[in-house]
Amino acid sequence: MKVRFWGTRGSLPTPLTAEDVGRKLAAAAERLAAGCAVADLPFHLRATYGGNTSCVQVDTPAGGRLMLDAGTGLRDYGHWLAGQGADAPRDHHILLSHTHWDHIMGLPFFGPVYHEGQTITFYGCHPSLRERLAAQWEPSHFPVRFDRLSATMKFVQLKHGQTVDIEGAAVTPLAQRHPGASYGYRIEHGGRSAVYSTDSEQKGMHDHRTQAFIAFCRGADLLIFDAMYSFVDACTDKEDWGHSSNLTGIEIAKRAGVKRLYLFHHDPMLDDERLDEVVSDSRLYAGHYRPDVPLEVAMAYDGLEVSV
C-alpha cells in the first residue's frame, strides 16, 4: 500500500506567516554560508510539517483508494486530482473518524463535489452521517447548499469491530475515546496493514480501552497516531479533550509489535522547530522504552508519502 499525508495538523489549519518564512530563510542562509548542505539542514529550516488538517490517502497495489478524513488537506488532494486529467478517479471513498470540524472542513473546497459524474461515498460509524455533513453547508456557514451539489453523495454506515471490504481493502473500525466519539480504522490489503487512529485519548497501558487498542494495532506495519499533546498535558490540563501523547504512542506501538509509528494531528501551538524537537525526543524515548523491541518513529507531514 502507499500512504500519502495531505493534512497532518490537529484542530485548525496552521499556515506559516511571512515572519515564519523569513526566520527560516535567515537561519538557513546562515548555516549554508557556514558550509552546510541543503539536505543537511534540519527539517524545520528546509521544509515545513504543513498546516492542513487531517486527510490521508491510502492506495492499494490493486488500484483501490481510500481517503481518511476530509480536513483541509482534502482541498489540496482535489487540486492534485484535477491535474491528473482523464486518469483521475470519479469514485471517491472517504472514511470519517468523526465529524468535528477539522476533519470535515475540506469538503466544501473539494473540487469533485461540484462536478456531475463524480460519486463520493462517505463511510463512518456515527449515526446521521449525511445530516452531520450537511450542517456545515447551511447558509449561515457556507454559500452553497449541500443538496445543490452536482456530485452524487452516498453514505455507508459502518459498525465498530465489523470488517468490511472497501475498494478491495479489509477495513475494520474501532471506537475510540474522544468527546462525541471517534473511530480508528485498521486497513489491510495483501498481507500489509495500516492503522489510522486520530482524535483518540489513551489513558494508560492498563486501561481496558487502551488494551483493546493495542490488540487492534497488533503487528501493524504502520500506525498513524494522535500525539497532539505532551504526556503531562494529556494527563492534566488537557485530560478528557480526547487526544494522546508521543510517549503513549510509543508504548502502545511497542506493545503491539507495530513496525512504524507516525505521529499525527500536530498541535497548532507547535511550530516546525518544536515539532522537530518532538520527533527527536520521541526517538530518544523509543530508545529507552523496551529497547529490545524495534520501532521506527517519524513525524507525519503534509506531502509525505510512505510505502507500507
Q: How far is the CB of 240 from other proteins (least distance, A)?
A: 15
Phi, psi dihedrals of residue 213, rounded to the nearest 5°: -70, -40
Q: How far is the CB of 300 from other proteins (least distance, A)?
A: 19
Residue 136 touches other proteins, criterion: CB under 8 A: no
Single-letter amino acid code for the residue at 293: V
Single out the segment in contact with other proteins by CB under 8 A; choices: 142-150, 155-163, 225-233, 267-275. Answer: 225-233
Rounded Cα gap, residues 74 and 94, in angstroms: 10
Single out the segment in contact with other proteins by CB under 8 A; choices: 98-106, 170-178, 181-189, 280-288. Answer: 280-288
Residue 251 touches other proteins, criterion: CB under 8 A: yes
Q: Which three cell numbers stand for residue 181?
A: 466519539
C-beta closer to other proteins: residue 31 or 203:
203
Task: Tell me if 179 sits within 8 A of 199, measured CB to CB.
Answer: no
Q: Which three cell numbers stand for residue 118?
A: 463524480
Burial 186-222 (b: 16+ CB within 10 A, else e): bbbbeebbbbbbbbbbbbeeeeebbeebbebbeebbb
Rounded Cα gap, residues 175 and 215, in angstroms: 13
C-beta closer to other proteins: residue 142 or 285:
285
Q: How far is the CB of 247 from other proteins (least distance, A)?
A: 5
Task: Identify the three-state secondary structure at position 141.
Answer: coil
C-beta closer to other proteins: residue 161 or 204:
204
Residue 232 touches other proteins, criterion: CB under 8 A: yes
Of 141-170, binders to other proteins (CB under 8 A) are: none
Q: Which three cell numbers stand for residue 108?
A: 466544501
Residue 12 touches other proteins, criterion: CB under 8 A: no
How many chain residues are in contact with other proteins, going by CB under 8 A? Answer: 20
Task: Tell me if 258 sits within 8 A of 194, measured CB to CB.
Answer: no
Of 179-208, binders to other proteins (CB under 8 A) are: 204-206
Residue 212 touches other proteins, criterion: CB under 8 A: no
Task: Identify the three-state secondary structure at position 218.
Answer: coil
Residue 233 touches other proteins, criterion: CB under 8 A: yes
Binding mask 48-87 for other proteins (x = CB under 8 A): ----------------------------------------
Rounded Cα gap, residues 274 and 10, in angstroms: 15
Task: Tell me if 53 sits within 8 A of 12, measured CB to CB.
Answer: yes
Radius of gyration in angstroms for the set of CA atoms belonging to the chain, rounded to a whole number: 19
Task: Dump the DSSP string for 20-75.
Answer: HHHHHHHHHHHHHHTT--GGGS-HHHH-----PBSEEEEE-TTS-EEEE--STHHH
Residue 248 touches other proteins, criterion: CB under 8 A: yes
C-beta closer to other proteins: residue 27 or 235:
235
Single out the segment in contact with other proteins by CB under 8 A; choices: 36-44, 62-70, 167-175, 230-238. Answer: 230-238
Phi-psi region of 50 (alpha: psi -120 to 50; beta: other; left: phi over 0): left
Q: How far is the CB of 297 from other proteins (least distance, A)?
A: 12
C-beta closer to other proteins: residue 114 or 289:
289
Residue 269 touches other proteins, criterion: CB under 8 A: no
Binding site for other proteins (CB under 8 A): 204-206, 230-233, 235-236, 245-248, 251, 281-282, 284-285, 288-289
